[in-house]
Structure 1
């Protein structure tokens, strides 16, 4: 609770936390708007494929871009100005940099930036949850061995959920479920970039004017992004991924404790200790009142056995905590998240405390590519949010046993055989070209597969 004070002390001592941002898109821009006014944080550099786009992002978020842009990394380090470059590796190598922020959204780029950051002694905040789910458990180990921090991004839902789970356990409670809310209907799994805007109540023209990417927004809708985020939470907390994939049960905030408990007790979970996403829509398409579409939650219960948790349950009742009908399972939630506006918490925590705001500790959850339609031999997959596949949450154990193709590698790869609609794609179904991302993923699969076999 003293992170701000520690940042101010760093500012007064003339040694601010120096961060480098890779990717000046929406998430990165939200960080830009706040780092400008956070004492003790210095944005030393931005790497983007277009320095003009990076400069425009500075202007849009309140900076005097002409005055803020540095002439060199040395100038940026000493003056407090910002160096703009297109070469992300040059940013990572720059003297004086403390923390790298990857906000690219590209799994391959995220893996490359993480490996470079570890090599050059930089902490990393992985906004890029796609890269984190593809290879994060292995990357986090590499950073730990190097004495560095590999962190999820505070403000994004996985890190916020990890914090809530940690809070519950630190209080001595048993976590029953944790996750987030979203807008979901089963038909959304078949959504494509051509159909996405109707589900958001927008025309393609309105979306284009707003600069909204149809494939990215379709990933939010078709279940892929939810699966990716829940896999990240499972890997970071030890909670289990449901073996049949996410159920997306409808629930209001006042129904969380009732719905997010085991089926044996009248809830929607296979067992206690799982990740799950709740829908803001009933299955008939009607709106859930008091929904959690933009928020996160945790359900929990007293951890002691034999009825000795009666005192805690009585306290739930006395202090107005939302519970299930039996008064045993309780729920807390956060109705919204501020995404990149909160990212500075992760940067400061990594550099000052040496702590991550969530980090994978094992390979527990995975996201496999699942066919949206019948796919023909020779067809090219177009990845997350596209026309061909959506991402389905699996346990890592099942993913490894089935040889499932991770959604993060299901982009620009060609099918070697037909695949039925609804089927999980496998490595053997596609011709995957060799790449750093493929090699790192295969290394992770081998490492954790060997551990599972030895357990």
Structure 2
């Protein structure tokens, strides 16, 4: 796509944008925006005034041209075309998002924690007012939705789609393994670099066992949250609630994510999953990248592409197409300009509540315990495992959406292995998030 041509007819209009949340994503957007002539960050909102001032100063922005507030209620008089919600706090994001739509502003929802709970109803509300609600370029949901859209529009049949987890498993020449800031000698993964005579299930089980022995996670809540948003946008479904999340080399994707009937891991087609990228120290990262598997309609063409180095299955029947990076706020201006200048999303066009992100206990919990976020980076609670299940009405007997459960106190003891239901919790029903979820269930007829 030639983006100069895409925006050519919009003239010199400048999109006035508000940014709520000045964490890593917001700070990177603020820094990038000063290099985009037709984008102006006119307002920043963050509860931490020192962090807000520090971020603005770091970019060299003119503070006289940016309104800075700690509460969006104090920004009623600021004229904005687009609001970017990037707090990562689901309750705040839902309230800020609803307010933006009510004020006639396009909404860019970076906070996937709110999108997985109430994204479809916010989209419906925005559409009813002629506004855009969209996921953001620079984060995996929009990037994967875009990749799938591109493939469909050139006539490719998508068999599966997904993303890599946020951090690579990096294998050293001495069999050491590095993950984030952890370094483990004698990982045992060198012996599992090649599949040899093993099935894909046997190989990935063996690799996962090695990772578990080292205390390394292969499933994190953000991955499930992001892919849940893609499920709701695309209608593709998880192969199983806990995903497969295999540890794979990127070059193995085409074979490993075939149907199980053909020797792969997946039970069927139109599936969403996550993999953990295994690479050597001298290989490029795939961390946080997105991919699709497509059926090859022409064996001769795909065999030729395989010879050119593309990831194509041995029988040329399945190929992998991918975008191996996500650039946070650096890419976000494309979404903001598309909404503000063209009135179109870069994310979902007709999202529906297909799945819910829910929590299963992996330890015993006692009555009175609060499900407090223990990992601020991943926005997850220790002792709860994420799952994606078919969407159900928010009701006492049903599994509770993960981000309506967080922060709530347990009414009862809950043994390990139990799906947390809403009735087990003292859920704060006074939040905009809870109210919008009820509205979403009614709007879409969720049972």
Contact 1:34 1:341 in 2 (8 A): yes
Q: Which residue of 2 aligns with 1:437?
A: 433
Select the structure that is richer in helix.
Answer: 1
Of 256, 270, 286 in structure 1, the residue corresponding to residue 267 of structure 2 is 270
Q: Which residue of 1 aligns with 2:443?
A: 447
Contact 1:253 1:333 in 2 (8 A): no
Contact 2:45 2:71 in 1 (8 A): yes
Partner SS, residue 163 of structure 1: helix
Over 3 Å counting, the alpha-carbon distance change for 1:298 and 1:401 in structure 2 is: farther
Deviates more, 1:98-107 or 1:286-295: 286-295
Quote the Cα distance in structure 1 between the aligned partners of 2:282 and 2:357.
27
How far the C-alpha of 1:183 sits from its partner, in A, is 6.3
Partner SS, residue 84 of structure 2: strand
Q: Which residue of 1 aligns with 2:334?
A: 345
Q: Which residue of 1 aligns with 2:249?
A: 252
Partner SS, residue 237 of structure 2: coil
Over aligned residues, Cα RMSD in angstroms? Answer: 3.0
1:10-49 equivalence runs, <5 A: 13=12, 15-49=13-47
1:155-166 equivalence runs, <5 A: 155-166=138-149
Partner SS, residue 371 of structure 2: strand
Quote the Cα distance in structure 2 between the aligned partners of 1:49 and 1:335.
33
Quote the Cα distance in structure 1 between the aligned partners of 2:295 and 2:271.
14
Task: Render the CA deviation track for 1:189-239: whole Å, top value 9, x for unaligned.
Answer: xxxxxxxxx963369xxxxxxxxxxxxxx9x97511111011011111221
TM-score where L is the length of structure 1? 0.80
How many positions carry a matched residue from both structures? 400
Task: Render the CA deviation track for 1:380-403: whole Å, top value 9, x for unaligned.
Answer: 111442334242222326998971
Quote the Cα distance in structure 2 between the aligned partners of 1:59 and 1:8.
32
Quote the Cα distance in structure 1 between the aligned partners of 2:423 and 2:124.
28
Contact 1:258 1:267 in 2 (8 A): yes
Q: Which residue of 1 aligns with 2:291?
A: 297
Of 359, 380, 392 in structure 2, the residue corresponding to residue 385 of structure 1 is 380
Quote the Cα distance in structure 2 between the aligned partners of 1:253 and 1:400.
41
Contact 1:252 1:292 in 2 (8 A): no
Over 3 Å counting, the alpha-carbon distance change for 1:4 and 1:84 in structure 2 is: farther
Quote the Cα distance in structure 2 between the aligned partners of 1:387 and 1:315.
48
Q: Which residue of 2 aligns with 1:232?
A: 229
Over 3 Å counting, the alpha-carbon distance change for 1:277 and 1:35 in structure 2 is: same
Quote the Cα distance in structure 1 between the aligned partners of 2:218 and 2:103.
38
Contact 1:242 1:274 in 2 (8 A): yes
Quote the Cα distance in structure 2 between the aligned partners of 1:166 and 1:236.
11
Contact 2:85 2:96 in 1 (8 A): yes
Of 150, 158, 165 in structure 2, the residue corresponding to residue 182 of structure 1 is 165
Over 3 Å counting, the alpha-carbon distance change for 1:338 and 1:362 in structure 2 is: same
Quote the Cα distance in structure 1 between the aligned partners of 2:77 and 2:5.
27
- Pairing 1:408–2:403 present: yes
Over 3 Å counting, the alpha-carbon distance change for 1:4 and 1:35 in structure 2 is: farther
Quote the Cα distance in structure 1 between the aligned partners of 2:272 and 2:261.
17
Quote the Cα distance in structure 1 between the aligned partners of 2:427 and 2:386.
18
Quote the Cα distance in structure 2 between the aligned partners of 1:327 and 1:289.
24
Partner SS, residue 33 of structure 1: helix
Partner SS, residue 39 of structure 1: coil
Quote the Cα distance in structure 1 between the aligned partners of 2:261 and 2:229.
27
Q: Which residue of 1 aligns with 2:317?
A: 328
Q: Which residue of 2 aligns with 1:364?
A: 354
Contact 1:184 1:221 in 2 (8 A): no
How far the C-alpha of 1:45 sits from its partner, in A, is 0.7
Partner SS, residue 408 of structure 2: strand
TM-score where L is the length of structure 2? 0.82
Deviates more, 1:123-132 or 1:326-335: 326-335
Contact 1:226 1:277 in 2 (8 A): yes
Of 90, 108, 116 in structure 2, the residue corresponding to residue 125 of structure 1 is 108
Over 3 Å counting, the alpha-carbon distance change for 1:9 and 1:29 in structure 2 is: farther
1:211-230 equivalence runs, <5 A: 223-230=220-227
Quote the Cα distance in structure 1 between the aligned partners of 2:418 and 2:167.
20
How far the C-alpha of 1:48 sits from its partner, in A, is 0.9
Contact 1:45 1:84 in 2 (8 A): yes
Structure 2 spans left out of the alignment, 5+ residues: 169-177, 184-214, 374-378
Of 419, 434, 451 in structure 1, the residue corresponding to residue 414 of structure 2 is 419
Of 67, 70, 82 in structure 2, the residue corresponding to residue 86 of structure 1 is 70
How far the C-alpha of 1:315 sits from its partner, in A, is 5.5
